[in-house]
A and B are shown apart, each in its own frame.
Chain A
Amino acid sequence: MDFNILVGGAAGQGVDTVAKVLELILKKQGVEVFSHKDYMSRVRGGHNFHQIRFADRPLYSHREDLDVLIALDATTVKVHSSQLSAQSVLIADESYRTEISAGKALWLPLKEKAVEAGTKLTEGTVAVGAVLRLFDFDFAKVWPVLQSLFKVEIFEVNRRALELGYTLTEPQFKLEFTESQPKIMVTGNQAIGLGALAAGVSFYSGYPMTPSTGIMSYLASKMEEAGIVVEQAEDEIAAINMAIGASYAGARAMTATSGGGFCLMVEGLGLAAMTETPLVIAEIQRPGPVTGFPTRTEQGDLAFVLTASQGEFPRMIIALRDPEDAFYQTFRAFNLADKFQIPVILLGDQYLGDYYQTIPPFDFSGLTIERALAGEEVWKQTEHYQRYKLTENGISPRLVPGRCGTQVVLADSDEHTEDGHITEAADVRVAMTNKRMQRLEQLREEVQEPWVVGQTDPEIVLLAWGSSAGPVREAIELLEEDYSIGALIFGDIYPLPTKLLKDLKPNVTMLINVEQNATGQLAALIRQEALIACTHSILRYDGRPMSGQYISDRVKEVISK
């Protein structure tokens, strides 16, 4: 069982609500859900849609071919009917009636029934009812979902709308699933927020920017219960500088943005590095440069974050691969930032940030917060605390101002002495640069190798990073019967883990980087760090996410050339 429903319409037509109702109903039925959102940067009008895929096995990606198309406007019929096949069903109001090339069109009195239910605004709910009947859903499980989603005032009218919709169709598809394990349904952005909460973030400063805002709204919704501060800064420059100040003062601090906001944060990134202040920054990519495609997806900022800011300093970059990975890696990022006193950048993107996926609940039992702060032994036994004391491993004992007896803590953005005072001495400059860069070598020991997917010792190897993980995994599933194929999917991306790359067998005939950018930024990094060149590239940069099917088709094209 693997079904795919698309619901589309103009912004403001309730497409989100219909999707939310369907996602939750499906999840409560116990099926696995993968729901991906495609929306325009506007509040009213335009064309938005959700693709809600569900199956009796874990899903890692969206797919394009549809079983059901719910069209709340004529545009949706026009744009998406090509995704229908002979067995699919189109549900739309009878006023949009037109010829479609494939599938069964059900032109239903959705608008009329909505008015009958109480308000024309429930057209989407009528459509949900019609879809539930198509799949012969168990109604008993639907009511609680509806109750949890709609306020009391509008629950009744939506209930009527759902029932009226239910009478409009006949069962068409067969649901097959067994009782499943408990699941959560979460987006990448929520998972980042929850990972940060678990890690003990207590200060978040940010400036709203799509598609990163979901992290801030999630944390803001927990502000009171968690006892934290979430502050909307006047700009991204303030956002990162506030987070650095909070971290210097002893809080676990974080900021998030998208590429454009990160441009403004770049000097702050250097400040965190130079002052050796731990900081976690989530950069949720969208197509650039500048405003680009505000609501769409791309992996175009890897090269930028690798070298952002002037000068040289250690940084850690972790590409988030799916919501589960986003949770655990965000948690880990805080520990790494504290341990090495460095900025850690989490790279996400709109696709990962916004799609909903059902996954097993996160396991909190294995998580430990490691602040790596120096204790009394340091401030009681030293006469004069030095924030940048030169040590064997380059990491100075870190104290928090106002929490270390009569010692004071001086941090400085200038090149500085061990005391934190401004210096222009050549030998100090060399010692301090070495002290900072030493940690890059330690990070190389710390990095996690990429996920290995597919066959052992394959002839064709796909190289991917971040949110392409799910689609690549599905592509491998589609391809591995016919080809000797596997993939390495990078999460830790800088410093680049190179062991598995260097272990690739000589029998590899094709090394293909699969990326959502125009220039192959991972491939370039691999050439630089591992001296290995990809033989082929699969690049997508139209702002739309790659599905497993898309990658599979493109791999076949590459092979047949």
Chain B
Amino acid sequence: MTTEEQSQKLFDSDDEIAWCPGCGNFAILTAIKTALFELNKRPEEILMVSGIGQAAKLPHYIRTNGFNGLHGRALPPAVAAKIVNPELTVIVHSGDGDTYGEGGNHFIHNIRRNVDIAHFVHDNQIYALTKGQASPTTALGQVTGIQTKGNLDQPLNPIMLALAAGASFVARGFTGHQEHLINLMKEAISHPGYALIDILQPCVSFNKVNTHRWYADRVYELPKEYDTGNLSQALEQALEWGEKIPIGIFYREEKPTFSDHLVWLADRPPLVDRVWEPRDAEKFMKELE
């Protein structure tokens, strides 16, 4: 069996996939299974968390622990689960609308929290589950069923936003560069701290502008000599979008994670294994005497 076959077998879910044929999500699903397999992860060590959207169905299509929560709210339960059980490899899969629209506030503040999770945003620049409305990354002027006169709002730049908010790992991938994407995923999962990959993917049903061809013609991989430790250069690089679209790791930095700051827990078991009796709290009552 090839690596891919082995990984598909280990992480295979018996759930029927409800994505459209040709959807970019299939490539992401294959990539994540392969990345996890190559990292020697076991299904029970992994927690996949998602919100709502086409991307957010992914936890159903992979055999790992899963928490498919609310639209826009994938990050809060994900970081909390990681804090409670740091042994879990926690990965968030959610879409551009889920992450940057409904969940924008959690996106910004969980970058600040820097909990050790990986966040893979399936960015097809459209709302797909609700059948084709503008997302926060849809181009200005793009016509949809609701943006009938063209999208009136300029798209946000997730890479720039993540960098500005202080993310410790910021990358962009593309479903058409599978090997590259698998490597990005492995780097992101291994990175200590919050790691974002904005993954460009075509929506074959609802985005007739940003097609596979459209991306494939523009995307290029950041060269080997690109310095991933230079924030101002990364910000500059993040501005590039249009004729040419860079993919790869824009920036990475090792800095203390949320758990590193919990020094009072350092010598204690993870919260999930906490041993506690009611009487252990009795000492706090003495202060009220």
Contacts and interface: CB of A to CB of B under 8 A. Distances in A.
Interface stretch (B56-64, B137-145, B169-177, B226-234): B56-64
- Please name the 7 residue pairs, one residue from A and one from B, whose CB atoms are nearest each other, closest first: A245-B77, A245-B80, A241-B76, A234-B109, A401-B65, A249-B81, A367-B278
B2 to A, nearest CB: 23
A188 to B, nearest CB: 13
The winner among B66, B87, B278 for most chain A CB atoms within 10 A is: B278
Nearest to B258: A231
Contacts of A413: 52, 68-70
Interface in B61-104: 63-70, 73, 75-85, 87-88
A453 interface: no
B81 A246 contact: yes
A411 B18 CA distance: 18
A406 B271 contact: no
B84 A250 contact: yes
Which of A242, A243, A249, A403 has most chain B Cβ within 10 Å? A249
B155 interface: no
Contacts of B77: 241-242, 244-246, 248
A229 B81 CA distance: 12
A414 B65 contact: no
Contacts of A241: 69-70, 73, 76-77, 80
A369 B105 contact: no
Given A194-B284, A248-B67, A331-B278, A235 B105 contact: yes
A229 B289 contact: no
13 contacts: A197-B284, A227-B265, A233-B76, A244-B77, A249-B88, A367-B278, A401-B44, A402-B44, A402-B88, A402-B272, A403-B273, A408-B66, A422-B68
Given A202-B276, A401-B88, A271 B70 contact: yes
Contacts of A197: 281, 284
A421 B15 contact: yes
A200 interface: yes
A404 to B, nearest CB: 7
Contacts of B52: 413
Given A182-B289, A197-B281, A227-B274, A251 B84 contact: yes
A271 B68 CA distance: 10
B65 A409 contact: yes
Interface string B27-45: 0000000000000001111
B44 A405 contact: yes
Nearest to B283: A225
Contacts of B60: 410, 412, 421-422
Given A369-B276, A421-B60, A229 B83 contact: yes
A408 B264 contact: no
Given A245-B78, A249-B84, A408 B64 contact: yes
A404 B88 CA distance: 13
A109 interface: no
Contacts of A331: 278
B68 A183 contact: no
B70 A414 contact: no
B131 to A, nearest CB: 17
Interface string A236-274: 011101111110111101000000000000011001000
B59 A245 contact: no
B262 interface: yes
Contacts of B64: 408
Q: How large is the interface on B (under 10, 10 to 19, 20 to 34, 35 or more residues)?
A: 35 or more
Given A243-B80, A248-B81, A413-B70, A229 B265 contact: yes
Interface string A392-404: 0000000011111
Q: Which of A402, A403, A413 has the most CB of B within 10 A?
A: A402
B195 interface: no
Given A367-B278, A368-B278, A408-B66, A205 B285 contact: no
Contacts of B282: 198, 364
A216 to B, nearest CB: 15
Interface string B110-128: 0000000000000000000
B106 interface: yes
A203 B44 contact: no
Most-contacted residue by chain A among B75, B76, B283 (CB, 10 A) = B76
A223 interface: yes
Interface SS of chain B: helix
B278 A364 contact: yes
Most A CB atoms within 10 A — which of B70, B75, B264? B70
Interface string A184-200: 11100010001001111
B288 A186 contact: yes
A516 interface: no
Interface in A208-228: 222-228
B85 to A, nearest CB: 5
Interface in A479-535: none
The residue among B65, B68, B265, B277 with the most chain A CB atoms within 10 A of its own CB is: B65
Contacts of A414: 68
A518 B135 CA distance: 44
A404 B44 contact: yes
B19 to A, nearest CB: 12
A227 B84 CA distance: 12
B185 interface: no
Nearest to B88: A402
Contacts of B84: 202-203, 245-246, 249-251
B285 A237 contact: no
A228 B264 CA distance: 9
Contact of B284 (A202, A222, A235, A402): A222
A264 to B, nearest CB: 11
B268 interface: yes
Contacts of A400: 272
Contacts of A407: 44
Nearest to B16: A421
Interface string A284-303: 00000000000000000000
Contacts of B162: none
A361 interface: yes
A237 B72 CA distance: 10
Nearest to B63: A408
A249 to B, nearest CB: 4
Nearest to B107: A234
A184 B285 contact: yes
B149 interface: no
B47 interface: yes
B18 to A, nearest CB: 8
B49 interface: yes
A275 B264 contact: no
A245 B65 contact: no
B272 A229 contact: no
Contact of B80 (A237, A242, A412): A242
A251 B272 contact: yes
Q: Which of B15, B75, B77, B85 lies at the interface centre, i.e. has the most chain A CB atoms within 10 A of its CB?
A: B77
B278 A249 contact: no
Nearest to A422: B60
Contact of A408 (B44, B69, B85, B109): B44
